Amino acid sequence: MRDLTKNSISAHIAAMSMPIALSMALQIAHQFVALHFVSQLGAAAVAGVNAGGHVTFAAIALVQMLSIGTTSLVAQAAGRKDLSRMNELLNQSLGLSFAFGIAIAALTIWLVPVILGTLLPDPAVAEAAMRFVRAQVIGNAVVFPMVVLSAAMRGAGLVRIPSLIFTATVILDIVFVSILVPGRGPISQFGVDGAGAASSLALCIGCILMYYYLRSSRNGLAAAGRLLTPKMDAWRHILSIGLPASVDLILMFLTTMVVYVAIREAGASAQAGFGIGFRILQLALLPGLAIGNAATSLVGQNYGAGNVPRVKEAFVVAAIFNTAAMLILTFVIYSYSTALISPFDTDASTAATAEWFLKVMSSSLVAQGIVYVCTSMFQGLGNTVPALASSMARFCIFSISTLWISRQPDFQLHYIWYLMTSAVVVQAATSLWLLHLEFRKRLSTTHQHASRIQA
C-alpha cells in the first residue's frame, strides 16, 4: 500500500496521472485504429459502430459506479491504515462485479437490438451497430471484475502496474482489430464483428493479468471466497458513492442519443462526422480526465487521515495542471482540426461535420477540465451527489434546447455544438459552487475531528 498523505502533492498527481493518461490515450488510439479500418467499409459501418459504442454506455456506467465507489472507500480506509476494511471492500465489489457482468450480458443480447432499431432509421446503420454490440458482449461482462481489481489497487495508491495492464490490453485490442476487421493472411474479413470481437478477446486477457498481479503484488489486498458473501451494508456504501457517477455517465449517453435524434434526418454522413469528431474530442480530454483520476485517491487518503490542508492543496494543484493542459489542447484542436480528421477515410460531408464539431467544442475544453477536477474531489470526499447535480443541469439545458432548435425551419447542425459548449460552461460553474459548499461542510467537520484526536 502506498501512503499518499505525505510528500509533494504536485509530484503525486504528476506521477499518478502519467500512467493513467497513457492507458487512456491508448484506449482512444484503439478507437481511432478501429474507426480507420471500419471507415473502409463505408459511412454506414462507421455510424453503426459509433452508435453501438454509445449504446454500451449502460455497461460503462455500471463499471464506473463500482470503480468510483471502490476507489473512494478503499482510499479512505487506506488513510486510516485499515487493511481488513480494504479487503472487505475489494471482495464485496468483486461480488457486485460478477452480478453486474452477467446482467449486462443478458440485457445486451435481449434489449440493445430494440434500442438500436428505434434510434437508427437507416437499416444498414442499425445492422452494423447490432453486429458490433453482439460481438462485444463478452468484453462488456469481463471488464467489471477487471476494473474493480484496478480500482481497489488505485485506492491503495498502486497505479503504475494496473495502468500498464490496461495499456497492454488496449495494445492487444489494436492488434486484434487490425487483423480481424480487414482480414489478414488465413483470417477472413470479419468487418464490424471483428471490432467487437477484438475488444472481447483483449479484455479477457487483461482481466486474467489483473487478477494474477493482485495475487503476486504482496500489498495486503487479496481476493478471498469467504469475503464474497454479500454484505448489504458494504454494497449500499459502495453503490451510494458510485451510483451518482454512473447516472452521470448515463446522462452522457442520453446526451449523445439526443444528438442522434436531432440529426437523424441529416443522414449517415452527419452521424459519422459527429462520431469521428466526438472520438477526437475524447482524446483531447484525456489529460484532464487523467489528472482528475490521479487526484481521487490522493484526496480520499488525506480525507480519511483528517489532513484538511492537503485536500485543499490537491484541488488547487489539480485545477492548475488541468487548466494549463486544456489551454494547450484548445489551441491544437482549433488550429489543426482538418489535420486531425485527415487519417479517416471520409467523404466531404462527413469531414465538414467533424471539423465544425471540433472547432466549436474546442472552446469548452478548459471548462470540461474544471468539471473533471471537481468530480475527482467529490469522489475522494465520498459524496458524488453534487457531481450528479451539475451533470443534470448540463443535460437539461442541452437536451431541451437541442430538441427544440432541431425542429426550427432554419436549423443547422453547428447550432447543436454551440448549445453543447454552453452547457459545459454552466456545468463547470455549478460544480465549482457545489464544491465550495462541500468543502465548507465536510472539511470543517474533518478538521474539528482531527483536532480532538490530536488533543
pLDDT of the chain, 455 residues: tens digit per residue: 555 555 567 766 666 666 666 656 666 666 667 767 776 777 677 777 766 766 666 677 778 788 888 888 888 888 788 888 888 888 888 888 888 888 888 877 776 666 666 666 667 777 777 788 888 888 888 888 998 998 888 877 777 788 888 888 888 988 888 888 877 877 877 878 888 888 889 999 999 999 888 888 777 777 777 777 878 888 888 888 877 767 776 787 788 888 878 887 766 677 778 878 887 887 788 777 778 777 777 788 788 878 888 888 888 888 998 899 899 989 988 888 888 887 765 677 788 888 888 999 999 999 999 998 998 888 888 888 898 899 899 999 999 999 898 888 888 888 888 999 999 999 999 999 999 998 888 776 554 444 443 33
Angle at 52 between CA 375 and CA 359, to 5 degrees: 60
- In order, the DSSP letters of 93-118 are HHHHHHHHHHHHHHHHHHTHHHHHHH
The answer to whether the CB of 238 falls within 8 A of the CB of 93 is yes
The answer to whether position 273 is within a domain reads yes
**Is residue 185 assigned to a domain?**
yes
Q: Is residue 265 part of a domain?
A: yes
Quote the pLDDT of residue 454: 39
pLDDT at 305: 78
Residue 379 and residue 155 in contact, taking contact as beta carbons nearer than 8 Å: no
- For cell 467487437, the residue is 196
Q: What was the pLDDT predicted at 455?
A: 37
Residue partners of 111: CB distance under 8 A and separation at least 6: none
Domain that holds residue 103: 9-450
The cell numbers describing 388, all together, are 450528479
Of 21, 26, 15, 66, which is closest to residue 169 (Cα–Cα)?
26
Within 8 A by CB and 6+ apart from 317, the residues are 9, 10, 13
Residue 346 domain-assigned (yes or no): yes
Residue 1 lies in a domain: no
Predicted local distance difference test score (pLDDT) of residue 24? 61
- Domain assignment present for 4: no
Q: How many domains does the chain have?
A: 1
Rounded Cα distance between 383 and 376, Å, is 10
Question: What pLDDT is attached to residue 327?
Answer: 93
Residue 56 forms part of a structural domain:
yes
Q: Is residue 2 part of a domain?
A: no
pLDDT at residue 396, as a whole number: 92
Contact 279, 32 (CB under 8 A): yes
| Residue in the block written with cell 453482439 | 134
Contact status, residue 45 vs residue 128, Cβ threshold 8 Å: yes
